Chain A
Amino acid sequence: MDQSHENSGFPWPEWMESTANLWLSAAQRWRELSASLASCPQTEEYMQASLSIWRAFFMPWTAMQFPTANESQQPSFDMVQAIMQVIGSGGLSEEMLKWLWNKGGGPDPGFEGFRPDAVREWADIYEKTVQPLLKIPRMGTGRVYQEKINRLTDKLRSYQAAVSEFQTLLSAPMEKSFADMSEELDRLKEKGEAEQDSRAYYGIWIKILENHYMSLFKSNEYRLALSRVLNETAAFRITGNDVLAEFLEFLPIPTNKEIDEIYKELYMLKKQTREATKKIAKMESALAKKDIQ
């Protein structure tokens, strides 16, 4: 075994290799698993591209340990570049972002070109690979707790997916407004109508942004995404409450369900009392009138 590797403590090369194999394996299975993805042969390339980012990201450490003739030691620049790439793209490669936004090589289509199906395709992979594992029948005394925790894990994923989709939709008008503003600036400059006051440019931009949001909010995609995010948020909370209730069972504290039952009974009793009081008042009034007569 290499001496430097021994000293480092962590087997970076093996780890990198196994991670790479995992990604490659996932990419190969991807096309097999999803019929919809089969129509998109570039998927594997995107996964490869994403993998290259991760390789670049870890290069500073691996390169320091295994300096070769081809890989000079420039950890700072590589690392900054890789980090910027990873952070700036939310962990996705440029190619993957293009795929998400259906950009291809053509002009930037803004949010109209967003592929909501892309998020759902990612969800599809989860549903066919990870979700079945969470749904494996549990046994023994801890069955109920395991099932509830697995269900919560599953709902957390659905919630995160819905929020991601929603946030992506919400960020689209911003991107589009910057692109339009750039064009507007060029146009103004060409016509010699450039404003001196930066407030005027801000006014133009905010109006463009407002218009893009309006067209997004009226779209069917947004309506469905909003509905989905609300439903998934509720489902996650319900499942979370269910898990919390299990813990509360061990403590001398009533659960929401128990309190709600009491509230409902209280509500019904109050309603009946009010109705009875009104009826009695009416009867008393009628009797009083009778007495007068």
Chain B
Amino acid sequence: MNASGMLVNDIMTKWLEGVKKSREILKSPSTMLGPLDTEIAKTPYDVVYQEDRIKLKHYSPTGDKQLDTPLLMVYALINRETMLDLQKGRSVVENFMNLGLDVYMIDWGYPTRKDRYLTIDDHVNGYMDNVVDFLRNRHGIEKINLMGICMGGTFSIIYSALHPEKIKNLVTTVAPSNFDTDQGLLHIWTKEMNLGRILEAYGNMPGDMLNLCFLLLNPARLVIDKYVSFFENMNDKDFIENFVRMEKWIFDSPDVPGETIKQFIEDCYQKNLLIKSKMVVGGTRVDLKNITMPLLNIYGKYDHLVPPGACELLTSKVGTRDTEDLCIDTGHIGIYVSSKSQKQFTPKIVEWLKQREGAAHRESKPKPAKAGSKRL
């Protein structure tokens, strides 16, 4: 047998040992068969507003109340907002509550076929605006703080440009605004997509189809390596619980209303109208110069879904001079769930909001030579 053959023999022997080990793991008093805590989104909340399929969740502060202005979080229509409350100790919501914030979060629910005609206008000028008005009345204030996540961040940018009089501070997190970049595969793939046919066939964009697309972004890691790790750690209860929680979130994928995703792909991904202030929503042009409130723009350095190139232009296009870019050394999901990020992400936002609480628009504040950009 040649050298290479010997090596292959060695590998096969090792592989066999691995198989035997796996069998032992499967036979052992199995963690998988025992009680597991895999529930997600356990932080208590009240539903304070409801409209169609939309719910507004309210999380009261547990620590000393730090801000009078409530924070409204707007998640994407893709996947669920439960990612912000994955588990105790890995929960953005819980961190905000502990830091004394009055937090509200929109739950977009599960769109059905009857929602297929809902547009971005219906989501932004309809549901979001109604929720914002509800909060303004509830708290007796003119403006609220708004935080958008991913596609919800794009919606928040649009909303803030169309209704600047209702927003005190804007926080965008991994929110795409510039779509003309080849840093992310989604930006490359969507160039050729004709969503018209898909929506004619399905009505809405099926969540399963989106999931498949996301898995194809990196099949080596997401389809193979992830589950190899799972089998290697089948005796580790914490690992299994975290793994299953994440699986629950990843594959809890509502369909996306047809007309909304169509406009999002065509106007944003294919024509890149938003960053050029040429996008039209509800008959009104979305002029980014109307964003005159302070803006904190956070994104992930290793984000493969919304790469830095899709986020970092925003601060240079808006009307306010009080802007800050923050690039964190993590990915699209890690920014919300990694333990390292947990220590940086929420405290930074709370501190930034606190500095601006009570302050009027800081339009007079001189803009730094370069928009404040920090890398953690």
Contact = CB atoms under 8 A, between A and B. Distances in A.
A26 interface: no
Nearest to B17: A198
A188 B201 CA distance: 52
B61 to A, nearest CB: 31
Contact of B193 (A230, A235, A241): A230
A210 B216 CA distance: 11
B218 A260 contact: no
Nearest to A212: B220
Nearest to A211: B220
Given A217-B185, A227-B192, A189 B7 contact: yes
A82 to B, nearest CB: 28
B15 A198 contact: yes
20 contacts: A185-B4, A196-B14, A210-B218, A210-B221, A213-B219, A217-B216, A226-B192, A227-B193, A230-B193, A233-B198, A234-B198, A235-B197, A237-B202, A238-B197, A238-B200, A256-B113, A256-B203, A260-B113, A263-B116, A267-B114
Interface in A208-226: 209-210, 213-214, 217-218, 223-224, 226
A271 interface: yes
B226 to A, nearest CB: 11
B220 A206 contact: yes
B8 interface: yes
Nearest to B228: A202
B63 interface: no
Contacts of A235: 197, 201
Interface string A231-256: 10111011001000000000000001
A155 to B, nearest CB: 11
Interface of A: 170, 182, 185-186, 188-190, 194, 196-198, 201-202, 206, 209-210, 213-214, 217-218, 223-224, 226-227, 230-231, 233-235, 237-238, 241, 256, 259-260, 263-264, 266-267, 271, 274
B225 interface: yes
B118 interface: yes
A263 to B, nearest CB: 5
A224 B192 contact: yes
Contacts of A182: 4
Interface string B214-241: 0011111100110010000000000000
B218 to A, nearest CB: 7
B18 A198 contact: yes
Interface in B138-183: none
Nearest to B126: A274
B114 A266 contact: yes
For the residues of B in contact with A, the DSSP-based class is: helix
B192 A186 contact: no
B191 interface: yes
Contact of A197 (B4, B14, B220): B14
Contact of B113 (A189, A196, A201, A259): A259
Nearest to A264: B117
B192 A223 contact: yes
Contacts of B217: 217
Nearest to A235: B197
Closest 7 CB pairs of A and B: A198-B14, A210-B220, A234-B197, A237-B201, A227-B192, A234-B201, A209-B220
Nearest to A259: B113
Contact of A201 (B11, B114, B188, B189): B11
Contacts of B113: 256, 259-260, 263
Nearest to A226: B189
Contacts of A238: 197, 200-201
A213 B228 CA distance: 18
A189 B189 contact: no
Interface string B78-104: 000000000000000000000000000
Contacts of B188: 217-218, 223
